[in-house]
Amino acid sequence: MQLFLDGIFLGSIYALFAIGFTLVFGILDRLNLAHAAVFTAGALVGIEIVTRFGVPIWLLIPIVLIVGAVLGILIERIAFRPLAGRHDAHFAGLISSIAFGAILLSLLQALYGADTRRFPPGAFPRARLEILGATVSLLQVIILVISVTLMVVLTWLVAKSKLGRGMRTIAENPHAAAVLGLNVGRISSTTFALSSALGAVAGVLFTLNVNAASLGIGHAVELKALAVIVVGGMGSLPGALVGGLILGLAEVLAVNYIGSSWRDMVAFGLLFLILILRPQGLFGARKTREV
């Protein structure tokens, strides 16, 4: 049970990060490789805010959401929009988002240095709880609640709101969306903003979980998130959720039974298999449009 809960907690963070990733891919057909840098930014900025101003969690999260959203809008404007309509838009988008991510990371390095940073001691509750024979910290429960809440809100947004309808329309047929009079540019920006907001919060939650953040954390999670979205199905929100949880569980179990050095093999082995056997992932649909 302990393992199960640990896996769920870890998995919910992976899922939150992956959902942002897959949102942009599903709706706009773009793989945003600056997402990892946004994750790291969320973590480091979060630490800074708590260290400087001592804000509690419930205030920290919205602030980081906003920071993430701003970054998302910048990414869309700088790295993706100028490429629209180009032959090599997808490929160039990969490179330009890599570049943006690198710039972001080096700016973070300038601001916060390259060392590992932690939340100041006593910033967050240390209480531990007993659930069904397993010990979890209050912090972990809070993390889970926040993750789940954000994912639920996002899912509702995409399914029920006007914005969500716009996003789904663009995902299905961007040309028809334009013909219908949708403001494709603004919806794209908003999609990126949402995605990066979630990514940044995922960074904060991750750091809360392990109380350590450095420049490299985004990268480590990014690869796993790629595995998650491929396994879950690229573009599928439930896929990212389920995939994230599966990965979290699988890793915790692997570490326990096989040994931590092989832990990452789980993600990549699974990824490779899915790509060979069922490239659209568990929940994905076969795309008919050309990417």
Partner 1 sequence: MSDPILSVEGLQVNYGRVEAVRNVSFDVAAGALVTLVGANGAGKTSVLNAVSGLIRSRQGVIRFKGQDITKWPAHRLVKAGLVQVPEGREVLGTLTVAENLSLGGWHRGSTLTKNVARVYDRFPVLHERRALQAGALSGGEQQMLAIARALIAEPEILLLDEPSMGLAPKIVDEVFAVIEEIRLTGTTVVLVEQNARRALAAADFGYVLETGEITHSGPAHELLVDEKVIEAYLGLD
Partner 2 sequence: MLLEYTSLITLIALTAILAFSFYAVLIAGQLSLAQLGLASLAAFTSSLVVPAEPLFGFIPPLAVGIVFGMSVGVIAAFILGLPVIRLRGVFLAIATLAFGEMVRIFLINQTWTNGAQGMGFPKLVGIEIAWIALVVVAYWFWRLSGSRMGRAFAAIREDELAATTMGIDVARYRMASFVIAGAVAGLYGVLLAYFSRFADPNEFSFTAAVDGLVTAVVGGVTLFVGPILGSVFLSVLPELQRVLGVNAGWIRPTISGVLLLVVILFLPGGLSGLIPRRKSAKRLITDPAVRPDLPPLASPGTELVSLQGLGKSYGGVHAVRSVDLTVNAGEILGLIGPNGAGKTTLVNMVTGLTPPSTGTGVVLGTSLTSGTKAHRLAQAGIARTFQQIKLFNRLSALENVMVGGYRITRDTMLRRLLFLPSARRFEREAVAMASAQLIRVGLGDKAATAAGDLSYGDQRRLEIARALASHPSLLVLDEPAAGMNHVEAGLLSELIRSLATDGIAVLVIEHNVRMMLATCDRIMVLNFGEVIAAGKPADIARDPNVLEAYLGSSGSDADADAASELAAADLAAVTAESPREHPDVPDGTPARGEAAGPGDQANPSTATEPEDNR
Which lies closer to partner 2 via its Cβ, residue 110 or residue 132? 110
Residue 98 engages partner 1 in binding (rule: CB under 8 A): no
Which lies closer to partner 2 via its Cβ, residue 69 or residue 231? 231
Alpha-carbon distance of 20 to 157, in angstroms, equals 13
53, 59, 172, 272: which one binds partner 1 (CB under 8 A): 172
The interaxial angle of helices 2-28 and 217-232, nearest 10 deg, is: 80
The answer to whether 2 and 64 have CB atoms below 8 angstroms apart is no
Tokens of 174: 């961007």
Long-range contacts at 85-92 (CB < 8 A, ≥ 24 apart): 90/29, 90/30, 90/31, 90/291
Q: Which does 55 bind (CB under 5 to 8 A by kind): partner 2, partner 1, none?
A: none
Residue 189 engages partner 1 in binding (rule: CB under 8 A): no
Q: Candidates 10-18, 94-102, 194-202, 206-214 — which segment interacts with partner 2 by CB under 8 A?
A: 94-102
Which lies closer to partner 2 via its Cβ, residue 79 or residue 201? 79
- List strand residue ranges (DSSP E) for 193-237, in order: none
Handedness of CA 93, 274, 204, 24 (dihedral sign): positive
Q: Which does 91 bind (CB under 5 to 8 A by kind): partner 1, partner 2, none?
A: partner 2
- Closest approach, Cβ 159 to partner 1, in A, equals 12
Spatial neighbors of 177 by CB under 8 A, at least 6 apart, are 166, 169, 170, 184, 187
227, 237, 240, 252: which one binds partner 2 (CB under 8 A): 227
* 257: nearest Cα among 266, 244, 268, 270: 266
Binding site for partner 2 (CB under 8 A): 29, 31, 78-79, 82-92, 94-96, 98-100, 102-103, 105-107, 109-110, 114, 174-175, 178, 219, 223, 226-227, 230, 234, 261-262, 264-265, 268-269, 271-272, 275-276, 279-280, 284, 286-291
